[in-house]
């Protein structure tokens, strides 16, 4: 192939490297105003009144607005309609938005916010999800504080008759997205009563829904355009709807463009995080290592509002037994409300928490059986013809065994792994591994969003414009989708590019999440290109006076021994008034799920991963050094191998940070370290050698055989490191992150 499978330089590399790319902060509009947010000072309050007289007297303040000023509905349109854009009578977490100040400059807006005095009465609080499930807990959501519950039943765990059982409890903390660009939006009012919103986001159609809702206007009055986005990782899926809604209301009220950009501390305080998790797991196995039963109770701390918790919980639920074929499974999961910052999407989406639990327990089981951790995984890894915990029969594109074999071979597992009891000295070496299965896309739980639209137009000079509903947020979608379009059309890669994502260009295409962009938008583009290519091929046959299949290669269209250049073929098509524009559409079929027993074909396909970590631990200080990290992934077809390797390395480092150092500290619902001084993320200086390994078990339903990659590189990184730490020290840490204090205390 000319374009697919080649490591072309990213389309956005030069603009981002030189500073030419425009982020939201770079946007300027005539008479633009600036906004800041008034927030709840406590985790749970009844609002008795607001004194903003002094704030209104500040020179440069244009207006201060509250829930009563919202022209449409005061509810963020997510899964459940429980999160208000602005709190009116009650605020349920510290930092919840209560009002908005708009001024002629940002410093004035923030000064006015500090002068607003909220009169309140503190209400009862609960901060632990297990406490929140008790009957005596204050009611934050519904009658029981449970946003959602799921059950999976496969076989009968009570009649499994294992020879050996292991059971333990594992917990995980928050993880902050730590994107370089904080939440930011600019809303510009339009003469027809509508609004255009420009901003940092990954799901423009979510934002469109929100702006429509808060303004009370029809969809055709709301245009959302994604700006260059400085990182997301899930943190710009749901919460940009709130930021955009606030900016849009202020633009509507003032009749002026309004820019709203969060400070880093504000972003920490009020934006979504990875859910803290609590998991109790029991495995039962035969003496030969075959796992025959798995029981899981898994609880996610959703914070004060549901946001995406029900969907995050669902993904965690249907992956809770890991990448293993186990005949008897019982899983019970809950997303629970507490008086803390609401949690939402984060790369891995409910899987990293439960993967830490089940992959740690797999090692515990192996030790109890007297087995090597590699051996027990090989025995139980799901294979072609096997069934997942939801009963989904895997019939093709399964490269789990290959990822295991290649990862352990690369790391030298067989010669390096030794039992922890053999280790001594103050600095000890350890090696650990973890595996995972990942359902690509939204699955049966998000079937109504499993769609994608595109628009492709070939210009007279042969250049190609492509518009899709999914976004480029750093992962390389602009490049990969250009390669897919170029291959399908027979166009040179350099002649193809994606437009900025704009809701007025394509229909609602679902969110840019769940490693779905390459498959969903890629297939949609193929659908559009197929129509255009048929017309081009007809033109080529006419030009060459030949029949048969047209082959595109090296900038030419070939029929037998005859050929014509791409440029000449396109010029002729335009001269003949051939229509070289098409809209594409793709939707997923075939996923099923029975919520009563958790059985069905949860996803249309799966990717598989194996990671091996090598560490050195100073047992006197608790310092952990990552010496080497191998990360192998079955992703179908690598459209751009170099970008795929970058995803694997970036996700691996993010997972290492989750496992070892990213420690958000809360006290009575208040975040104590809301910045990069107190919340430590690994940087390039901290990155160990990360070796990416790509396994290509092509998926017939994907564009040129591709599946997905965005999230899997993070999912089992932390348990691989945790298992390596145990192998080095003989100390099993059952909570993340594994900071030095836990190893030496």
Per-position DSSP letters for 61-127, written without gaps between them: EEEEEEGGG-SS-SS--SSSS---SS-SSEE-STT-EEEEEEESSHHHHHHHHHH-EEEEEE-----
What are residue 176's DSSP bridge partners?
Answer: none
**Same domain assignment for residues 579 and 599:** no
**Do 364 and 253 belong together in one domain?**
no
Name which of 637, 642, 731, 619 is nearest 692 in CA terms: 642
For 114, residues 6+ apart whose C-beta sits below 8 A from its C-beta are none
Residue 527 CA to residue 509 CA, distance in Å, equals 14
Please count the structural domains in the chain: 3
- Shared domain check, 464 and 551: yes
Domain harbouring 554, CATH code: 3.30.365.10
Whether 494 and 472 map to the same domain: the answer is yes
Is 54 contained in some domain? yes
DSSP letter at 622? -
Give the integer Cα–Cα distance in Å for 474 and 574. 35
Asked if residue 284 and residue 217 are part of one domain, the reply reads no
* 334-380: pLDDT as tens digits: 999 999 999 999 999 999 999 999 999 999 999 999 999 999 999 99
| 566 and 683 assigned to the same domain | no
Spatial separation of the C-alpha atoms in residues 203 and 194, rounded to whole Å: 20
pLDDT at 448: 86
Check residue 228 and report its DSSP letter: P
Q: How many Å apart are CA 680 and CA 455, to the nearest integer? A: 42
Residue 147 resides in a domain:
no
Same domain? For 562 and 652 the reply is no
Same domain, 737 and 662: yes
C-alpha angle 504/507/510, rounded to 5°?
A: 120
Round the CA-based radius of gyration of the chain to a whole number and report it. 27
Residues of the chain with pLDDT under 50: none
Full 3-state SS string of 8-39: CCCCCHHHHHHCCCCCHHHCCCCCCEEEEEEE
Peptide linkage before 737 cis (omega within 30 of 0): yes
Tell me phi and psi for residue 688, to 5 degrees: -80, 170
Cα distances from 267 to residues 36, 182, 346, 671, in angstroms, run 12, 6, 15, 11
Location of structure tokens 């096997």: 386
409 with 458, same domain?
no
Residues near 14 by beta carbon (within 8 Å), at least 6 away in sequence:
20
Domain-embedded: residue 548: yes
Q: Are 24 and 236 in contact (CB under 8 A)?
A: no
Q: Do 558 and 654 belong together in one domain?
A: no
- DSSP helix/strand/coil, 710: coil
Q: How far apart are CA 296 and CA 598, in angstroms?
A: 13
Assigned domain for 142 exists: no
| pTM for this prediction | 0.96
Which residue is associated with the tokens 């609002």? 47
| 268 found inside a domain | no
Predicted pLDDT of residue 514: 86
Residues 318 and 425 in one domain: yes
Residue 174, pLDDT score: 98
Same domain as 290, residue 250: no
Whether the CA torsion 226, 227, 233, 239 is positive or negative: it is negative
The pairing of strands 581-587 and 146-154 is unpaired
* 340 occurs within a structural domain: yes
CATH of the domain at 104: 3.90.1170.50
φ/ψ of 110, rounded to 5, equals -70, -35
Distances (CA, A) of 126 to 123, 265, 587: 10, 23, 42
End residue of a domain, out of 587, 605, 627: 587
137 occurs within a structural domain: no
User: Which of 200, 231, 261 is the last residue before a domain boundary?
Assistant: 261
Boundary of a domain, candidates 587, 613, 644:
587
Residue 73 structural domain:
31-123+183-261
Does a structural domain hold residue 271? Answer: no
Instruction: Tell me how crowded residue 182 is: count the other CB atoms within 10 A of its CB.
Output: 21
């Amino acid at each position: 192939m000319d374009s697919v499978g080649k490591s072309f330089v990213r389309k956005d590399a030069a603009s981002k490297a030189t500073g030419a790319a425009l982020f939201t902060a770079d946007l300027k509009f005539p008479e633009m105003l600036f906004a800041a947010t008034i927030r709840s000072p406590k985790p749970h309050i009844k609002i008795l009144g607001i004194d903003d007289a002094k704030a209104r007297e500040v020179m440069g303040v244009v207006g201060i607005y509250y829930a009563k000023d919202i022209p449409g509905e005061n509810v963020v349109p997510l899964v459940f309609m429980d999160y208000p854009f602005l709190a009116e009578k009650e605020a349920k977490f510290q930092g919840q938005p209560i009002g908005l100040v708009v001024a002629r400059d940002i410093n004035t807006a923030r000064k006015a916010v500090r002068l607003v005095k909220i009169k309140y009465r503190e209400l009862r609080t609960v901060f632990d999800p297990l406490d929140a499930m008790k009957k005596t807990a204050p009611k934050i959501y519904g009658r029981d504080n449970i946003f959602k519950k799921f059950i999976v039943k496969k076989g009968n765990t009570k009649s499994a008759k294992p020879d050996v059982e292991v059971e333990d409890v594992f917990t995980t903390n928050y993880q902050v997205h730590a994107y370089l660009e904080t939440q930011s939006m600019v809303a510009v009012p339009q003469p027809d009563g509508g609004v255009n919103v420009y901003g940092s986001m990954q799901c423009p159609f979510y934002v469109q829904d929100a702006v429509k809702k808060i303004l009370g206007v029809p969809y055709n009055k709301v245009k959302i355009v994604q700006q260059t986005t400085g990182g997301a990782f899930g943190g710009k899926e749901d919460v940009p709807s709130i930021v955009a809604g606030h900016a849009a209301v202020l633009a509507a009220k003032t009749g002026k463009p309004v820019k709203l950009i969060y400070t880093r501390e504000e972003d920490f305080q009020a934006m979504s995080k990875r859910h803290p998790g609590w998991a109790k797991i029991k495995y039962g196995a035969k003496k030969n290592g075959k796992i025959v039963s798995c029981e899981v109770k898994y609880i996610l701390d959703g914070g004060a509002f549901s946001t995406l918790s029900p969907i995050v919980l669902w993904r965690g639920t249907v992956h809770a037994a890991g990448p293993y074929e186990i005949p008897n499974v019982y899983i019970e999961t809950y997303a629970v409300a507490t008086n803390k910052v609401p949690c939402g999407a984060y790369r891995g989406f409910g899987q990293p928490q439960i993967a830490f639990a089940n992959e740690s327990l797999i090692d515990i089981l192996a030790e109890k059986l007297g087995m090597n951790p590699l051996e027990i995984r090989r025995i139980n890894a799901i294979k072609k013809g096997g069934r997942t915990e939801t009963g989904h029969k895997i019939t093709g594109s399964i490269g789990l065994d290959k990822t295991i074999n290649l990862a352990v071979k690369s790391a030298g597992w067989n010669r390096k792994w030794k039992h922890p009891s053999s280790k001594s000295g103050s600095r000890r070496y350890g090696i650990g591994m973890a595996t995972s299965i990942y359902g690509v896309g939204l699955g049966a739980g998000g079937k109504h969003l499993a769609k994608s639209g595109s628009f492709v137009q070939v210009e007279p000079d042969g250049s190609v414009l492509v518009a899709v509903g999914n976004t480029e947020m750093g992962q390389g979608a602009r490049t990969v989708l250009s390669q897919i379009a170029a291959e399908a059309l027979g166009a040179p890669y350099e002649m193809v590019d994606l437009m900025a994502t704009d809701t007025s260009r394509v229909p609602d295409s679902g969110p840019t999440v769940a490693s779905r962009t390459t498959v969903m938008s890629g297939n949609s583009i193929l659908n559009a290109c197929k129509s255009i290519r048929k017309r081009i091929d007809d033109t080529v046959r006419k030009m060459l006076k030949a029949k048969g299949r047209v082959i595109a290669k090296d900038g030419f269209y070939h029929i037998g021994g005859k050929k014509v250049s791409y440029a000449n073929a396109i010029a002729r098509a335009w001269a003949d008034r051939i229509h070289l524009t098409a809209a594409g559409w793709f939707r997923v079929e075939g996923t099923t799920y029975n919520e009563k027993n958790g059985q069905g074909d949860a996803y249309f396909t799966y990717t598989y991963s194996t990671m091996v970590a090598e560490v050195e631990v100073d047992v006197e200080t608790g310092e952990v050094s990552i010496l080497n990290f191998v990360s192998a992934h079955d992703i179908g077809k690598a459209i751009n191998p170099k970008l795929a390797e970058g995803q694997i390395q970036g996700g691996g480092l993010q997972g290492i940070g989750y496992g070892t150092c990213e420690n958000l500290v809360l006290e009575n619902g208040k975040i104590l370290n809301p910045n990069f001084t107190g919340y430590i993320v690994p940087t390039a200086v901290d990155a160990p050698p990360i070796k990416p390994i790509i396994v290509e078990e092509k998926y017939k339903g994907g564009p040129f055989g591709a599946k997905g990659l965005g999230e899997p590189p993070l999912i089992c990184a932390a348990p691989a490191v945790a298992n390596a730490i145990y192998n080095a020290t003989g100390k099993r840490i059952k909570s993340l992150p594994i900071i030095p204090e836990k190893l030496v205390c």
